[in-house]
């Protein structure tokens, strides 16, 4: 019998890559979608026709219970979130509800459907629903050591990071309280041609394509000195799946161990099309964050040793992949008048 997986956040970057990976592994996959006419549901449905969908929202407890009950999953991957960090200063309460309390709601839904009681120590037996929580390197925030591993303390710097830290701890607590099989992947930034246009790498690759084709001249960015550990989303979903295949649940840092600045990302992307980034990038102070996470770098030793996981795509290749994809789309848009975002996937 094939395993059944339920993915929240199916319409996002990671949801689509994870669904493809699980389907290739022989799973039946359901994606949780919200809203009465979500265009992103149509988009991911076109990309992955084998997907099934179920309605639900991380803001609505009953809908999560109904979704888990309907799907009867072996594995639940909770990728749903408001994931753009700056938005969390504008709508802190909403972000806390979705990214923090939403995790609790999903854990409760699993607990109710699987009939786990209020006593601890029920063990991680077979037949139990396994839960993956999308934790984030943003929990490290103002870092106390570099690189960061599973033992590094947290100091989140945004309402997003604070909410993710709650999600992380409540997953650990349900593991300890109810013997639930709950895992947290502390993933560092990961990107792809399917990355949202608001995130810095995609913002850069989209602008490079437009500038190369003469459709735009300048690109406004914020803090060029911010340093991130950027990997490829397709590599990171393999780690999510591996985490849920272990005998015991745990917490794993996933990254590449390589640091690059926003400035370097821009330089690499412009170089892909033979342009000088300094002639096009302007700094807009309005894009600098109220409290910045300056530097992040993963020590993923535990993921390598316990899961046998390694990243396969390096940062220059990743930027090139994104620029080439956006160039193809921008050229199609220019030549045929296609809508850029819809044409991507």
CA angle 343, 344, 345 (to 5 degrees): 100
Which of 107-115, 285-293, 297-305, 322-330 is the region at the interface with ligand GDR (rule: CB under 6 A)?
285-293
Q: Burial, 55: exposed, middle or buried (Cβ in 10 Å; 0-12, 13-18, 19+)?
A: middle
- Given the residues 8, 11, 152, 165, select the one marked as catalytic: 165
Name which position in 189, 295, 325, 329 contacts ligand GDR (CB under 6 A). Answer: 189
Cβ at position 188, least distance to ligand GDR in Å: 6
Q: Are the C-beta atoms of residues 221 and 178 closer than 8 Å to each other?
A: no
223 binds ligand GDR (CB under 6 A): yes
Cβ at position 235, least distance to ligand GDR in Å: 15
| β-pair partners for 261 | 227
> Quick one: what does residue 332 bind among ligand GDR, ligand NDP, none, with the CB cut-off 5 to 8 Å set by partner type?
none
Supply the DSSP string of 301-334, one letter for each residue: HHIIIII-------HHHHHHHHHHHHHHHHHHHH
Cβ at position 143, least distance to ligand NDP in Å: 15
Cβ at position 276, least distance to ligand NDP in Å: 28
In the bound state with ligand GDR, the residue whose beta carbon lies nearer, of 220 and 245, is 220
- Do the bridges between strand 227-228 and strand 260-261 make them parallel or antiparallel, or are there none, so unpaired? antiparallel
Q: Where are the extended beta strands (E) located within the chain?
A: 4-8, 28-33, 52-55, 75-78, 130-136, 181-187, 190-191, 219-221, 227-228, 231-232, 251-254, 260-261, 281-283
Q: Give the interface size with ligand GDR as a residue count (CB under 6 A).
A: 21
Say how many residues make up the chain. 345
Query: Between 261 and 280, how does the x/- string for binding to ligand GDR read (CB under 6 A)?
Result: -x------------------
237 binds ligand GDR (CB under 6 A): no
> Which residues touch 93 (CB under 8 Å, ≥6 apart)?
none
Query: Between 144 and 173, how does the x/- string for binding to ligand GDR read (CB under 6 A)?
Result: ------------------------------
36 secondary structure, DSSP code: S
> Which 3 state secondary structure label does DSSP give 34?
coil
Name which position in 155, 289, 328, 332 contacts ligand GDR (CB under 6 A). Answer: 289
Q: Are the C-beta atoms of residues 299 and 229 closer than 8 Å to each other?
A: no
> Quick one: what does residue 262 bind among ligand GDR, ligand NDP, none, with the CB cut-off 5 to 8 Å set by partner type?
ligand GDR
Active site residue 165: yes
CA-based radius of gyration for the chain: 20
221 binds ligand GDR (CB under 6 A): yes
Cβ at position 267, least distance to ligand GDR in Å: 14
228 binds ligand GDR (CB under 6 A): yes
> Quick one: what does residue 39 bind among ligand GDR, ligand NDP, none, with the CB cut-off 5 to 8 Å set by partner type?
none
Q: Which residues bind ligand NDP (CB under 6 A)?
A: 8-15, 34-35, 38, 40, 57-59, 79-83, 98, 134, 136, 187, 189-190, 196
256 binds ligand GDR (CB under 6 A): no
Q: Residue 164 phi/psi, 5° resolution?
A: -65, -35
258 binds ligand GDR (CB under 6 A): no
Q: Which residue, among 279, 267, 275, 273, has the nearest Cα to 224 in the 3D structure? A: 267
Name which position in 137, 152, 184, 205 contacts ligand GDR (CB under 6 A). Answer: 137
197 binds ligand GDR (CB under 6 A): no
Catalytic machinery residues: 165
């Amino acid at each position: 019998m094939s395993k059944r997986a339920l993915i929240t956040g199916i319409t996002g970057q990671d949801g689509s890559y994870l669904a493809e990976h699980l389907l290739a592994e022989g799973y039946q996959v359901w994606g949780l979608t919200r809203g009465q006419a979500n265009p992103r549901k149509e988009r991911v449905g076109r990309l992955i026709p084998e997907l099934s969908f179920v309605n639900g929202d991380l803001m609505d407890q009953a809908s999560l219970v109904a979704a888990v009950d309907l799907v009867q999953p072996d594995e639940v991957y909770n990728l749903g979130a408001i994931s753009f960090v700056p938005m969390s200063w504008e709508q802190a309460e909403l972000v806390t509800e979705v990214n923090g309390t939403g995790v609790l709601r999903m854990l409760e839904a699993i607990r109710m459907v699987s009939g786990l009681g209020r006593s601890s120590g029920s063990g991680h037996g077979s037949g139990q629903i396994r839960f993956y929580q999308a934790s984030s390197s943003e929990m490290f925030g103002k870092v106390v050591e570099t690189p960061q591993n599973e033992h590094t303390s947290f100091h989140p710097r945004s309402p997003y990071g604070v909410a993710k830290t709650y999600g992380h701890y409540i997953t650990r607590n349900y593991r300890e309280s109810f013997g639930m099989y709950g895992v947290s992947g502390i993933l560092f930034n990961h990107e792809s041609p399917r990355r949202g246009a608001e995130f810095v790498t995609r913002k850069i690759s989209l602008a490079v394509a437009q500038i190369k084709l003469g459709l735009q001249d300048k690109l406004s960015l914020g803090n060029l000195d911010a340093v991130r550990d950027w990997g490829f989303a397709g590599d990171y979903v393999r780690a999510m799946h591996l985490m849920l295949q272990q005998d015991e649940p745990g917490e794993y840092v996933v990254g590449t161990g390589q640091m690059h600045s926003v400035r370097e990302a821009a330089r690499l992307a412009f170089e892909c099309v033979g342009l000088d980034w300094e002639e096009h990038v302007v700094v807009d102070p309005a894009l600098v964050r109220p409290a910045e996470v300056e530097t992040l770098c993963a020590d993923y030793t535990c993921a390598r040793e316990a899961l046998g996981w390694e990243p396969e795509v390096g940062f220059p290749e990743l930027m090139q992949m994104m620029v080439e994809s956006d160039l193809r789309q921008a050229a199609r848009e220019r030549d045929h008048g296609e809508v850029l975002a819809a044409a991507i996937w």
